[in-house]
Amino acid sequence: MQRTCIIGGGPAGIMLGYLLARAGLPVTVLEKHADFFRDFRGDTIHPSTLQLLDELGLYDKFLQVPHAEVTGLSAIVGGRKFVMSDFSHLPTRAKFIVLMPQWDFLNFLAGEAAQYPTFTLRMGWEATGVLEENGVVTGVRASTPDGPQEILADLTVGCDGRHAISRASAQLTLIEEGVPIDVLWFRIARQPTDPENALGYTNYGRLVILINRSDYFQVGYLIAKGDFPKIQQDGLPRFHESLERIVPFLAGRSGEIDAWEKVKLLTVQVNHLQRWFLPGLLCIGDAAHAMSPVGGIGVNIALQDAVAAANILTEPLRAGVAGPSHLEQVQRYRERTVRNTQRMQLVAHRLLNRILCDPRPMSPPWQLRLVTSVPGFQRLTARFIGLGLQPQHIGRL
């Protein structure tokens, strides 16, 4: 049986660790932070992921974790509401998206994984590079609370996100797509009378996304890339005014943002590795292909990569023969789906960029009115967002 070391305890890393341990394979996950409790990018658990949890027998238990459920997505454009997606027709058990802070999701999955004796999670262990011998990656060098350590592994999987040390250390070639947007990320108190479903508000050259986290909204405020210093220079009162103008029901609440420290700048990237693997090393999730927040699908794509990798690699790892051809198979199987999804995100960026360039009051474009009135449109977008282009299923043990 071959040993696996996973760098990064995000959605991809914890899911892959869980699935390998469930199959009885020895696996160690290294997470550089001491806990999962921080502002992650992405709180959405989509129907495709809920279906995977159902196949794993974890669905009912998972839904006991506090969460909100949204059955559709809407956009408020120039004050007028358009229903963009309707999940109620999906061929899945869950016909909704779960909104849950990502630390709760990761704690849940890590807790389930910990029941398997071959699963080890090292929190506060930061990979600093990969070990290499004769062109083969043989494990990970890590900085730990007890000093530097080397973890030997037959397979190392980089699940360490957009700034992955795994791919940098292995010198894998990264291809960047230009992205014209960034996101300001902050919280605003939520009141029980506020809308339940996830909403995007577009007006006055801005797009604001509200994610319902029960007693507060996680707010994503889209800006043109590089605009944050200018917004800060204009001052907080201008920022409050802009926010309340775009989302009128937040009137009186924007003052909660009383210091710029409460607003995080999240830089958006879209990129992909030319090659996801080397002998002994595979990258998946954002480490192999950083996703934009558009559509809120990056977490689910990362989870689908993990399931696909587990399905392809479990048998060869068990037989002790996992090698470059199996790693290549993972890339070949997933790459086209990921790249097509990124292409759609890039088209959306171009539309968003047009919105962000025009600070005037917006009236809904005729194209939006037309497309949202086409029968089946809301079901189609629900399939893309809720299931993705290549839904995965849990393989047999």
Binding site for ligand FAD (CB under 6 A): 7-13, 30-33, 41-44, 126-127, 159-162, 165, 183, 266, 268, 285-287, 291, 293, 296-300, 302
Least separation in angstroms between CB 101 and ligand FAD: 11
Least Å distance, CB 158 to ligand FAD, is: 9
Q: Strand order of the sheet with strand 97-99?
A: 44-45, 97-99, 68-70
Phi, psi of 29 (to 5 degrees): -110, 130
The least distance separating ligand FAD from the CB of residue 185, rounded to whole angstroms, comes to 6
Least distance to ligand FAD, CB of residue 107, Å: 12
Provide the minimum distance between the beta carbon of 370 and ligand FAD in the complex, in angstroms, as a whole number: 27
Shortest gap between Cβ of 137 and ligand FAD (angstroms)? 15
Q: How far is CA 377 from CA 176, 365, 372, 373, in A?
A: 31, 16, 6, 7
The dihedrals phi and psi of 156, each to the nearest 5 degrees, come to -110, 130
Nearest to 40 by CA among 90, 107, 93: 107
Residue closer to ligand FAD, measured from CB, 69 or 286: 286
Q: How far is the CB of 335 from ligand FAD (least distance, A)?
A: 15
Closer to ligand FAD at the Cβ: 25 or 297? 297
